[in-house]
């Protein structure tokens, strides 16, 4: 099996930890669609053909579970939708699914636009702005209200700090390629436990308050209320129910705000770097909206807006790789896999594959003009994963992305304050290594 040579004992781990985007790209370019690479203690493969990815995520999905990097998040996420497997996962998926029905998602549109306008009310003409921080705070506030149904107000800074600590400790492990088991009392793990404890106190308090007034609430649209009613109908025991609720809420909060905030940051960065695209986007929004705020019904009628978002997700996919572990012997792409083998597929690699995207490193939203996407193999473009374990929040994320972009761009333009190329940090998600600073230009009032 072709693959990159490695060092004794550690194999390819040093170069994988140093720059996984470059490592996986080189593997696919130099060694083909099925590549074996070496990491301590496991036989690992990279699959880089859409047909093989479809085989992994759909046709043979029962032969695989999620990889150890996802499972390492259990101290934070518990047994939520992201980490559970088998019947537990199917139970969780059925429990959460009603909250992501298309009509319920569309019902959040007004809240999303209102919170975006609140953010813009603090922006000023000529102001320098760390756009990544602003957008991260915005989607955290939206997530708190759509998932928990509350404006957690004073608790939000504490929740941000707790989440930040959890993610920082995990990223530190990813950078070294060595994830210390959660039970080992290292300084990092102790910080992680304290952060999770602070976060749990906030979430359990909200759960208790909502349960106490559940019969008085009526048909609230937030996910927590829907989960409580569903579990009430299933007559779940309270302790088990509270833990399940906590795990699902935290999982969806982390997965939702982290990836959506990053996707918005990359979109704004690309618009700031390509003023002609920004001008074309502005022209569409002004022609369609004529100064009013966007609604969910407007999004299908904004084709260039959708192309910009699709292209940003292609060029900088926040979920940049998926890892699966084989639980039984099987075969994919002509390669025999054994139980325990690790298989990686990378959105980054496929989204930058010249077989499917001409000029793959260029920002060209027009490539998505019909019938372009119809000519792609199914898994040449998969920013939200795919198959039964694809992202359940895809619809909500796309709604947020479209509405927030359509709210910001007619009111503020932005340009980069630095000509430096963007450095990337591929960890749990793909994100800018440093803050993205822009200068704001006010176009119109609220």
CB-based contacts of 386, cutoff 8 Å, min separation 6: 53, 54, 57, 58, 378, 379
Instruction: Provide the pLDDT for residue 34.
Output: 96
Instruction: Provide the pLDDT for residue 180.
Output: 59
Would residue 224 count as lying in a domain?
yes
Would residue 47 count as lying in a domain?
yes
For residue 324, give the H/E element and its range.
strand 322-326
Number of domains in the chain: 1
Would residue 90 count as lying in a domain?
yes
For residue 46, give the H/E element and its range.
strand 42-47
Instruction: Provide the pLDDT for residue 239.
Output: 43
Instruction: Provide the pLDDT for residue 183.
Output: 67
Would residue 133 count as lying in a domain?
yes
Would residue 3 count as lying in a domain?
no
Whether residue 238 has pLDDT greater than 50 = no
How large is the average pLDDT for residues 304-315?
98
Whether residue 177 has pLDDT greater than 50 = no
Read off the pTM.
0.90
SS3 128: strand
CATH number of the structural domain spanning residue 71: 1.10.630.10
Whether residue 174 has pLDDT greater than 60 = no
Q: Tokens at residue 195, please? A: 């952060």
Instruction: Provide the pLDDT for residue 352.
Output: 98
Would residue 7 count as lying in a domain?
no
CA atoms within 13 A on the CB side of 368: 19
Instruction: Dump pLDDT digits (tens) for 396-435.
Output: 999 999 999 999 999 999 999 998 889 999 988 899 999 9
What is the span of the domain harbouring residue 41? Answer: 13-442
Contact criterion met (CB below 8 Å) for 433 and 423: yes
Instruction: Provide the pLDDT for residue 72.
Output: 67
What is the average pLDDT score of the chain?
86
Tell me which of 103 and 325 has the higher pLDDT.
325
Would residue 310 count as lying in a domain?
yes
CA atoms within 13 A on the CB side of 426: 20
Neighbours of 395 (CB within 10 A): 16
Would residue 8 count as lying in a domain?
no
CA–CA distance, 210 with 225 (Å, rounded to integer) = 7
Nearest to 266 by CA among 224, 222, 217, 318: 318
């Amino acid at each position: 099996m072709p693959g990159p040579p490695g060092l004794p004992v550690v194999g390819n781990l040093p170069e994988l930890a140093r720059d996984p985007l470059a490592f996986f790209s080189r593997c696919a370019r130099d060694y083909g669609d099925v590549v074996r690479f070496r990491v301590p203690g496991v036989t690992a493969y990279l699959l880089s053909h859409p047909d093989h990815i479809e085989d992994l995520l759909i046709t043979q999905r029962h032969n695989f579970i999620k990889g150890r990097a996802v499972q390492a998040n259990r101290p934070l996420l518990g047994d939520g939708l992201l980490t559970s497997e088998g019947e537990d996962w199917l139970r969780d998926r059925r429990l959460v699914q009603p909250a992501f029905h298309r009509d319920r998602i569309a019902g959040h549109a007004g809240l999303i636009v209102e919170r975006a306008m609140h953010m813009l009310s603090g922006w000023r003409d000529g102001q320098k702005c760390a756009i990544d921080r602003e957008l991260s705070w915005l989607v955290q506030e939206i997530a708190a209200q759509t998932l928990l149904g509350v404006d957690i107000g004073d608790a939000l800074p504490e929740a941000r700090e707790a989440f930040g600590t959890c993610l920082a400790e995990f990223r530190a492990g990813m950078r070294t390629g060595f994830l210390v088991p959660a039970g080992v009392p290292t300084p990092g793990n102790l910080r992680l436990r304290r952060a999770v404890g602070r976060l749990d106190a906030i979430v359990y308090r909200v759960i208790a308050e909502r349960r106490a007034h559940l019969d008085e609430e009526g048909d609230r649209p937030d996910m927590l209320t829907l989960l409580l009613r569903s579990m009430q109908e299933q007559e779940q025991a309270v302790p088990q129910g509270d833990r399940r609720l906590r795990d699902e809420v935290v999982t969806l909060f982390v997965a939702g705000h982290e990836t959506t905030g990053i996707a918005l940051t990359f979109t704004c960065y690309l618009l700031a770097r390509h003023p002609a695209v920004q001008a074309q986007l502005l022209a569409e929004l002004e022609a369609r909206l004529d100064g009013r705020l966007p609604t969910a019904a407007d999004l299908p009628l904004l084709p260039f807006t959708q192309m910009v978002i699709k292209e940003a997700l292609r060029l900088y996919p926040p979920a940049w790789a998926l890892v699966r572990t084989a639980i039984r012997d099987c075969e994919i792409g002509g390669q025999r896999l054994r139980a325990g083998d690790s298989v990686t597929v990378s959105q980054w690699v496929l989204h930058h594959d010249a077989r499917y995207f001409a000029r793959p490193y260029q920002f060209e939203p027009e490539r998505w003009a019909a019938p372009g996407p119809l000519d792609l193999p199914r898994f040449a473009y998969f920013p939200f994963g795919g198959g039964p374990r694809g992202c359940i929040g895809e619809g909500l994320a796309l709604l947020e992305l479209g509405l927030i972009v359509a709210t910001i761009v007619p009111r503020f333009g932005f340009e980069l304050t630095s000509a430096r190329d963007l450095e990337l940090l591929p960890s749990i998600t793909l994100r800018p290594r440093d803050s993205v600073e822009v200068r704001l230009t006010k176009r119109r009032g609220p």
